[in-house]
Amino acid sequence: MFFASDNWAGAADEIAASLQRHSGGFSPAYGASDLDQQLEQRFNELFEREVAVFFVGTGTAANSLALSAVNRPGGFVLCHREAHLIEDECGAPEFFTSGARLAPIDGSFGKIDPNALRRGLQRFDPEFVHHGQPMAVSVTQATEVGTVYTNDEIAVIAEHTHAFGLPLHMDGARFANAMVRLGSTPAEMTWKSGVDVLSFGATKNGCWCAEALVFFDPARAKQLPFIRKRAAQLFSKTRFIAAQFHAYLDDDLWIRLATHANAMADRLAAGIAAANNVSIGWPCQSNELFVTMPKELAGRLKEQGARFYPWPVPEEFESKLAEGQGLYRLVTSFATTEEQVDQFLALIG
C-alpha cells in the first residue's frame, strides 16, 4: 500500500524497454544524437509550435535553470506561499540564479490569488533600486495540495504577469495528471493560456529520470545551453533521457499512465468518503488526496504496511482540523493497483 509519493514507483515497462533498446552501439554525445533531434521535433508537434527543449535529470534542476534563464539583478520570483519552489527545493532556485529571491503570494489551496499577485507586483517600483525587481511569476500544476488550475485561471495569472513585462513559468512536475484531469491539450494548458516557460515533468509519471525545460519562445533560451552546462545538467549520454521521452510520448503512453493514476486516486477518494473515521480535506483534482484522520489511526495503518506522509496544514484549513487529528497526503501512481487501494480502504473500515 504505497501512497507516500509517485516518486516511489519504478519505471513503466515501456520506458524500461526503450532504455534497453537504445543502450547498445555508439551515438553522438551531448544531445547531438539522431534520437535527441527526433525528440526535439516531437516536442514541436506535441505543443503545436516550435519550441526550445532541454533535457535535465531532476525537477529541481528544471525549475532552477528555468528561472536562471529569465533572471534579473535583484530579481524576485513571485509564487504561491506553499509552492514547491519555496518549500522543497532547498534553496536551489536562489543558488542557481546567483541570489534571486522568492516572493510568496497568498491564495487558497495552493493556487495564486490573482488580486494578491497584482498587489505583489505593484509593490515593486521600477525606479526604486533598493527593493529589487520582479523577474518572473511561477505556478505549480498540479499544485502542492493536489489542486489544478483551469486554463482560464492560468490565463488570468498570465495576464497580470505579462502586464508587468514578465514571463510566466509553470512547474509541471505533475503536468500529465493535471492535463488529463482538465481534458486539455499540452498547448492549451501552456502557451495558449499564456505560459512562457515550462518544467515538463515525467519522472513522477513512469519515467526513470526524465525532465525537460520547454521554452515557447526559443529566443528566451539563448543562454540556456551554457546555464545547463554550468549547472552540471548537460548529460553526455542524453540519448538515455531521450529514450525515456520517446517511449513516454509514443502512443499516448504518458496520458494512459496519468489517467490510471488519477483513476486510482478517485477510487481511493470514493472509498474514503464512505468511511467514518477518515475524511477528505478538499476535493481530489489530480493524483494526490489529502485526508484527515486520528493520529492514532495513522500510526496503526503504517504498522499494517500503508505508506503515506503527514502534511503541513494549509493556512486556510487549520481551523478545520480537530484535536488529535492529523492531515495526511495519499499519492497514487501509474503503478498503483486496485488491490492496494481496496486493501487500504478495508483497513479504515
User: Which among 45, 71, 39 is positioned nearest to 238, based on CA atoms?
Assistant: 39
Peptide bond into 142 cis (omega under 30): yes
User: Which among 190, 247, 201, 244 is positioned nearest to 51, based on CA atoms?
Assistant: 190
The pLDDT of residue 42 is 96
Global pTM reads 0.95
User: Which among 323, 179, 329, 313 is positioned nearest to 258, based on CA atoms?
Assistant: 179
The pLDDT of residue 131 is 87
Q: Residue 317 in contact with residue 110, Cβ under 8 Å? A: no
Q: Residue 130 in contact with residue 163, Cβ under 8 Å? A: no
The pLDDT of residue 269 is 96
User: Which among 250, 261, 244 is positioned nearest to 57, based on CA atoms?
Assistant: 244
The pLDDT of residue 126 is 84
Q: Is 282 in a helix, a strand, or coil?
A: coil
In Å, what is the CA distance from 188 to each residue of 49, 139, 182? 12, 15, 10
CA–CA dist 335, 312 (Å, integer) = 26
Q: What are all long-range contacts of 111-119, with beta carbons under 8 Å and residues at least 24 apart?
A: 111/80, 111/139, 111/143, 111/147, 111/149, 111/153, 112/78, 112/79, 112/80, 112/137, 112/139, 112/157, 114/156, 114/157, 114/160, 117/78, 117/157, 117/160, 117/161, 118/160
Q: Give me the tens of pLDDT residue by residue for the chain, a chain 349 residues long.
A: 999 999 999 999 999 999 999 999 999 999 999 999 999 999 999 999 999 999 999 999 999 999 999 999 999 999 999 999 999 999 999 999 999 999 999 999 999 999 999 999 999 988 889 889 999 999 999 999 999 999 999 999 999 999 999 999 999 999 999 999 999 999 999 999 999 999 999 999 999 999 999 999 999 999 999 999 999 999 999 999 999 999 999 999 999 999 999 999 999 999 999 998 999 999 999 999 999 999 999 999 999 999 999 999 988 888 888 889 999 999 999 999 999 999 999 999 7
